[in-house]
Structure 1
Amino acid sequence: MDNIINTDVIVVGGGLGGLNAARTAAEKGSRVVLIDKARIGTSGPTAFAAGDILCWFPEEDALDDWVNDYINAGEGLNYEERIRSFLEGQYRLVEELHKSGFPFAMDSAGSFIRRSGRGPMTKCVLAPMLQFQEENRRRCLDLGVRFLERVSIEQIVMSDGCPAGVVGFNVLTGETVKVSAPSIVLASGGCSYRGPFFGQDVVAGEGLRLALQAKALLAYMEYGNHYNVSLAAFDSYGQSKFMAHGGRYVNEQGEAFLDRNGSSPLGNKINGNAAVKAMAEEVQAGHGPIYMDLTQFKDWDLVTNLMPNLMLALQKSQVDLSNHRQLVIPAFTGTSNASAAGIFIDNNACSTVPGLFAAGDCAAKGLIVGACVGITGISLAWANYTGSLAGQNAAAYALEVNSITAEEELWQIAETNMLQPLKRKSGARELLNELTGLISRLDVSLIKSENRLKEALTKVRQISAMLDNEIGADGSHDLMLWHEARSSAQVAEASLISALARRETRGAHYREDYSTKDPGMEFPLGIMSDEKHLTVQWIKKGAD
């Protein structure tokens, strides 16, 4: 089959995890193809990130203290040995990247500038992520990594239970793209349902859907409910930096309600989802709306250097953050950013399917954070660490198995399935917008009950049925939207059935009808797919 690109390692997604995976695999000698549906390096949330990268330092921090804090925050759902490996490996990697010339914020003595954030033991190094990503992109090209941009991957071709390649299409021309390799790294982000938040408007869960196609296990999907906080005036980011260094959320009366007696001892440094829940309760009690008060925030130089997009927006809008409180609203990012949800991976960043690896927001951060959602710096740190881990081990796997071939008929079936929506009338954008509005509701994804979850699940399945049987696409860009909608619907279903199965309140999973913790549910939940249905299974601790 002459139209198939043959390589050793395929990386799907060009964010921090994807670029790290591609670069690391290429450094190991593998031929690598890196694919993104937009521009590699700047699509998705990484380039917009505030630059907080969680990092333990052995000369400054006690490892046991960090591990114990994360175990406590995870409320029985995370893994001690994985936390240790992550913290130690992430530190080594940051040191290596700095020595090799990647940009980090340094003080006048040449030491890393570190800042605290929201959640337990959150000390972060800082990096200008747009520059960081451009450097990563340049190094990948120098190593001979082949870039396929504006290509949306929608099918994994399997052979005897192992991945043999991927099928996608160019979103500008509609041309089918087929790439064959024994190792595939899924690093295309989580699922924010193309939410209206910085960098999230392309994040629709395609990598998680691809994993389910391949029969890989997802995990922590009931914790795929991350909320950030944004200015009401326009999309904004950097809340963790603001709240950790003098910022406050205040109600209509000007009271910093998170500092109230009986609230979390972390006050305004509480993790993101807990802060949004407290905001919702404050409004429900008649004390809303909620404002961000930065009159005591002093670290404006770092904000200017690390968040140029935000500063530009503030200048153009003439919004004065430093002198006047500003109205804020919840900003839903789903399984993206500081969520726990994703593909269950082992110590080598491999999924439960040999040859299929995962990195960044595609990979389950719950292994580290457990039931805690919204920890500062975890998303970039996890992408940095798992990207490098996945690239290294994907290269080793490709060398070990050499090649996996699939019959021509399997490639044709994958292409036919991918293009099937072109035979039906357009309308996916409207369904995706409807889905986003449903899943982002606080009373569905944050403060939950069986009745509301079941009602939402029924609606999600109706949307999926409409996409499968009635609604299609008109042209290549519309086809991309259809696949984004279908992927988002499947991720929503996985999140809702997981939330229904966890009949307790634990961490960021709040159930009004099961308001206490059940000791019998101190296990992660997994999601698998058969040909037609998603099924829930408990993951016994020690499973790897």
Structure 2
Amino acid sequence: MHKPQKSASDSLLLQADVLVLGGGPSAAWAAVAAAESGAKVVLADKGYLGTSGATAPSNTGTWCVPPGDNRHAVVERRWQRTGELADPRWMLRCVDTAYRNLLRLSEWGYPFPSEDDGRLYIANLRGPDYMRFMRRRVLLAGVTVLDHHPALELLSDGDAIVGAAGVARQIGQDWRVDANAVVLATGGCAFRERILGATGLTGDGYLMAAEAGASLSGMEFTGKY
């Protein structure tokens, strides 16, 4: 863990190679991947990493396609459903990464259930166990985790995003992280949808990205709507 520094105004100031905003599975995996590559990583979540987001309180399915199954055909069928407006190259990368990381979960000791023939059933994850497990992996990777630290704005040098700032809501302290890269993994926008874990899915990451000048695409292809 990296020790935080405080300025004269008692604000929390941190430096990182990579800042990850969010506390769901995407944020956890991004933080682990960056840390394993040798980066100094800070993860800031407006909730508590491991319990925030829609995955933590429920089961979650996975796009589990073993290498022996015809991945190109699987992607082709899914691509047709998008009106051929998705990018098959990224879809293939998603399939490959998802399967590889499911195997890593098994290697790390995640308690997958077994099929009747003894094989592990890795196509479904139990949300509470999965996210509690991922919190441990994030901390084990040496990531500095800032729980209950919502980001309120992205910081720009005029050409690129160079960090983020927000508030530690439990103590009312301002925080700022200067970073070489920022990963927005803040989830979708399902506020007031009455689904488990949706209370915090307010789309704030999308808003910050739009305010910083980002172009948003592909949002119309969410599997839920």
- What TM-score, normalized to structure 2? 0.88
Q: Which amino acid aligns with 2:211?
A: Q
**Equivalent residue number for residue 3 of structure 2:** none
- Aligned partners of 2:16, 2:70: CA distance in 1, in Å? 43
Q: State whether structure 2 residue 53 is matched by structure 1 residue 44.
A: yes
Is contact 2:189–2:203 with CA below 8 Å preserved after alignment? yes
**Equivalent residue number for residue 255 of structure 1:** none
- Aligned partners of 2:125, 2:195: CA distance in 1, in Å? 21
> Which aligned segments of 4 or more residues in structure 1 are displaced greater than 4 angstroms?
none
- Aligned partners of 1:40, 1:141: CA distance in 2, in Å? 10
The higher-RCO structure (CA 8 Å, 6+ apart) is 2
- Aligned partners of 1:159, 1:62: CA distance in 2, in Å? 45
**Equivalent residue number for residue 34 of structure 1:** 43
Aligned runs of 1:158-169 on 2, under 5 Å? Answer: 158-169=156-167
**Equivalent residue number for residue 141 of structure 2:** 143
- Aligned partners of 2:175, 2:72: CA distance in 1, in Å? 48
Cα distance, 1:108 vs structure 2: 4.6
Residues 129-154 of structure 1, C-alpha deviations (whole Å, 9 max, x = no match): 21111111112212221111111101
Cα distance, 1:162 vs structure 2: 0.8
SS of the residue 1:190 aligns to: coil
Q: Which amino acid aligns with 2:129?
A: Q
**Equivalent residue number for residue 130 of structure 2:** 132
Q: State whether structure 2 residue 58 is matched by structure 1 residue 78.
A: no
Is contact 1:103–1:132 with CA below 8 Å preserved after alignment? no
**Equivalent residue number for residue 62 of structure 1:** 70
Aligned runs of 1:526-537 on 2, under 5 Å? Answer: none
**Equivalent residue number for residue 94 of structure 1:** 102
- Aligned partners of 2:168, 2:72: CA distance in 1, in Å? 48
Is contact 1:11–1:34 with CA below 8 Å preserved after alignment? yes
Q: Which amino acid aligns with 2:32?
A: R
- Aligned partners of 1:43, 1:211: CA distance in 2, in Å? 21
Q: Which amino acid aligns with 2:173?
A: E
Is contact 1:14–1:188 with CA below 8 Å preserved after alignment? yes
Residues 53-86 of structure 1, C-alpha deviations (whole Å, 9 max, x = no match): 1211233x32232122112211121122222222
Counterpart pick for 2:213 among 208, 212, 215: 215
* Structure (1 or 2) with the larger CA radius of gyration: 1
- Aligned partners of 2:97, 2:32: CA distance in 1, in Å? 17
Residues 257-282 of structure 1, C-alpha deviations (whole Å, 9 max, x = no match): xxxxxxxxxxxxxxxxxxxxxxxxxx
- Aligned partners of 1:87, 1:97: CA distance in 2, in Å? 16
**Equivalent residue number for residue 114 of structure 2:** 106
- Aligned partners of 2:159, 2:83: CA distance in 1, in Å? 35
| Distance change in 2, residues 1:150/1:194 (3 Å) | farther
**Equivalent residue number for residue 29 of structure 2:** 20
Q: Which amino acid aligns with 1:203?
A: L
- Aligned partners of 1:64, 1:156: CA distance in 2, in Å? 38
Cα distance, 1:14 vs structure 2: 0.9
SS of the residue 2:72 aligns to: helix
Q: Unaligned 5+ residue runs, structure 1?
A: 115-124, 224-338, 341-372, 375-507, 509-544
Q: Which amino acid aligns with 1:151?
A: H
- Aligned partners of 1:108, 1:101: CA distance in 2, in Å? 20
SS of the residue 2:137 aligns to: helix
Cα distance, 1:20 vs structure 2: 0.9
Residues 490-513 of structure 1, C-alpha deviations (whole Å, 9 max, x = no match): xxxxxxxxxxxxxxxxxx6xxxxx
Is contact 1:153–1:166 with CA below 8 Å preserved after alignment? yes
Aligned residues: 216
- Aligned partners of 1:102, 1:24: CA distance in 2, in Å? 17
SS of the residue 2:188 aligns to: coil
SS of the residue 1:176 aligns to: strand
Aligned runs of 1:456-535 on 2, under 5 Å? Answer: none
Q: Which amino acid aligns with 2:87?
A: Y
Is contact 2:192–2:198 with CA below 8 Å preserved after alignment? yes
- Aligned partners of 2:145, 2:192: CA distance in 1, in Å? 24
**Equivalent residue number for residue 187 of structure 1:** 185
Cα distance, 1:196 vs structure 2: 2.2
Cα distance, 1:36 vs structure 2: 0.9
Q: Which amino acid aligns with 1:100?
A: W
Cα distance, 1:173 vs structure 2: 2.4
Q: Which amino acid aligns with 2:52?
A: S
- What TM-score, normalized to structure 1? 0.38
Is contact 1:15–1:44 with CA below 8 Å preserved after alignment? yes
Q: Unaligned 5+ residue runs, structure 2?
A: 1-5
Residues 277-331 of structure 1, C-alpha deviations (whole Å, 9 max, x = no match): xxxxxxxxxxxxxxxxxxxxxxxxxxxxxxxxxxxxxxxxxxxxxxxxxxxxxxx
Of Structure 1 and Structure 2, which has the larger fraction of its residues in helix? Answer: 1
- Aligned partners of 2:118, 2:40: CA distance in 1, in Å? 36
Cα distance, 1:195 vs structure 2: 3.0
